[in-house]
Structure 1
């Protein structure tokens, strides 16, 4: 019994020493969520504006820009969005050139997003009224700015493929 009592005392004391540990093992979660910004733009493509719609925005140099076109008649939750660039092949019409193609495209800088139409025909004179209404008049676009962060080793050479394995 005399040999067991010191062992029990030592075990009891070490239990209290361990329970008085002040280290906080709880991991604090940091919310690193980023949220994309969205802006809707409506405009009409004409020869006066060189078939371009420009939207001034303050865009950080690391952000990524996506542009969608509302292709349906719905709005809000019922809207149907299609990403651009997109090419439309217009129906042949005897009054106009054959194989007409109309492209929606965009580019952006840190100060603006420019949405434009490009075609292999004269958009001002070689479209029917219904085609102009469908593709050029009151077009709604959704510009999505997705935040990005530059990588730490952005200037390293990428020729060492073992880095990616």
Structure 2
């Protein structure tokens, strides 16, 4: 009886040994996303009571809900070594006894709304703050947004990080 049990155990081991699983190793393929691009739009805007101190800018095509939109305002009073100074929005200016002025924006998949806000009557605001204000809108695809550590408050750092060409900026006027 012991020999039969030993023989069955030996046959079982041979049988079980032939049942092997071959796992296929899948190596991820590195791809380059050639159709996802960052772009910059530039608009010069004048704010007044007629447009309710806001400007709606519509994109040529919808952006993805995961994309980032950054807006920068050209500070006409600042130049650094002959270079324009762009400030990331939102921005708040304290105008002494006049009050507080805000440049702000919101966006959807289809547009950006740039607007002024204040704790005083905007009709009393100097035209230096409302007329011919230049903004740059940077659309950053989500594909890139999580890939790099960037100081988004620095327009020049954003342009460099996303390899944007200032000569190809789409410029629009009021």
Alignment TM-score, normalising by the size of structure 2: 0.57
For structure 2, list consecutive stretches of 5 or more residues without a partner in the other structure.
Answer: 1-28, 144-174
**Counterpart of 2:164?**
none
Hey, what's the Cα distance between the residues in 2 that align with 1:36 and 1:72?
A: 25
**Counterpart of 1:104?**
103
Structure 1 counterpart of 2:88, from 83, 97, 103: 83
Hey, what's the Cα distance between the residues in 2 that align with 1:66 and 1:44?
A: 20
Describe the SS at the equivalent of 1:48: helix
**Counterpart of 2:31?**
30
Hey, what's the Cα distance between the residues in 1 that align with 2:37 and 2:70?
A: 14
Alignment of 1:39-58 (within 5 A): 39-57=41-59, 58=62
| Aligned length in residues | 110
Deviation at 1:105, TM superposition (A): 0.6
Alignment of 1:1-165 (within 5 A): 30-32=31-33, 34-57=36-59, 58-72=62-76, 78-92=83-97, 98=98, 100-124=99-123, 126-127=124-125, 132-149=126-143
Hey, what's the Cα distance between the residues in 2 that align with 1:47 and 1:31?
A: 47
Deviation at 1:72, TM superposition (A): 2.9
Hey, what's the Cα distance between the residues in 2 that align with 1:29 and 1:148?
A: 18
Structure in which a larger fraction of residues adopt strand = 2
Structure in which a larger fraction of residues adopt helix = 2
Hey, what's the Cα distance between the residues in 2 that align with 1:55 and 1:32?
A: 27
1:72–1:81 CA contact under 8 A, matched in 2:
no
Deviation at 1:32, TM superposition (A): 4.0
Q: Which deviations, in whole Å up to 9, do the C-alpha atoms of 1:87-116 show, x marking residues without a partner? A: 000133xxxxx5x00001100011110000
For structure 1, list consecutive stretches of 5 or more residues without a partner in the other structure.
Answer: 1-27, 93-97, 150-165
1:101–1:119 CA contact under 8 A, matched in 2:
yes
Hey, what's the Cα distance between the residues in 2 that align with 1:109 and 1:32?
A: 23
Alignment TM-score, normalising by the size of structure 1: 0.60
